[in-house]
Amino acid sequence: MLSYRHAFHAGNHADVLKHYVLGLVLDYMNQKDKPYWYIDTHAGAGLYRLTEGYATQNAEFENGIAKLIAAANLLKPLADFVAQINRFNTSNLEYYPGSPLVAQDLIRANDKMRLFELHPSDYKLLIENFKGQSKQVKIDMQDGFTGIKACLPPPTRRAVVLIDPPYEDKQDYQHVVRMLKDSLSRFATGTFIVWYPILQRPEPSEMIEDLLRLNLPNWLHINMTIHEPSAEGFGMHGSGLFIINPPWTLPKILEETIPALTQLLALDDAAHYALNYEIA
């Protein structure tokens, strides 16, 4: 199924949580001189225009990144994230970077990127957005669930892998679990970040339960709900990240900043967050 286009949702609350945490992980990786790989299994188009096209239909960014940019007195990690998004804009909020460009903005000259995108239209846009950077970035029109096998372990033995499928196919939840089992057998020390939506259906929570059954020594689970589930039972009312081998510094930063982020993005009194982790 190739109907999903992330441009409809660019800059929404889920993007804010995902890209904020991704930036924290990459900042930590940058503290060591040794190079690393950034691998994105479902990269999307890379950059989204918020003033025309798909993004304007529901304008989800207005309840996401726009709220952060308009906020005053943000805690420094959140202010740093806003500063990064502003680097893609001249004055008004016109563009929102997807995970590939969030990562590209943070990695160093000796780090590498491997990006996978199967949708033909988004693949063409992704190629265009990375034109002239072929030495550092390799882009494949391929399903990242299978393409990642050729990347692990990376030559540097350091990597951050973002796993962010559209989940329009319910089988994606089990694809994530199977891919991680295989990936950890190839590269047990890598940092793997799984994004997922919070919906009124069992598959997301079942996936998290399956991941916890892997008996991982180091993991972190953060999720954020921004409003009460709809009476009709449809739609995403929050999102979460499950991270294998997270930076040891990450729990403290999230404990200090996620309460403020949740309050800022809340649409009603049902908004809340949960943070759990085990780090050996």
Position 26 scores a pLDDT of: 98
pLDDT band (50, 70, 90) for residue 41: very high
Percent of the chain's residues with pLDDT above 70: 97
What domains can be seen in the chain, in order of their start residue?
Answer: 6-197+245-264 (3.40.50.150)
The overall average pLDDT reported for the chain is 94
Active site residues per annotation: 164
* pLDDT of 233 strictly over 80: no
* All residues at 6 or more sequence positions from 90 whose CB lies less than 8 Å from its CB, including other chains: none
Percent of the chain's residues with pLDDT above 90: 87
Q: What ranges in the chain are assigned the alpha helix state H?
A: 13-29, 55-58, 65-70, 76-86, 99-106, 120-129, 144-147, 172-186, 203-212, 250-265
DSSP label of 74: -
DSSP label of 247: -
Task: Note the pLDDT tens digit of each residue in 171-198.
Answer: 999 999 999 999 999 999 999 999 999 9
Position 5 scores a pLDDT of: 60
Q: What is the DSSP string of 160-207?
A: EEEE-----STTHHHHHHHHHHHHHHH-TTSEEEEEEEE-SSSHHHHH
Tell me how far apart the alpha carbons of residues 193 and 223 are, in angstroms, rounded to a whole number.
13
pLDDT band (50, 70, 90) for residue 156: very high
Position 1 scores a pLDDT of: 46
| Tokens read off for 68 | 């952060």
Position 4 scores a pLDDT of: 54
Residue tagged 């990690």 (tokens): 77
Asked if 96 and 88 touch (Cβ cutoff 8 Å), the reply is: yes
**Mean per-residue pLDDT for 252-263?**
98
**Mean per-residue pLDDT for 113-129?**
95
> 139 vs 186, 246, 267, CA distance in Å?
21, 25, 37
Residue tagged 């510094």 (tokens): 249
* pLDDT of 240 strictly over 70: yes
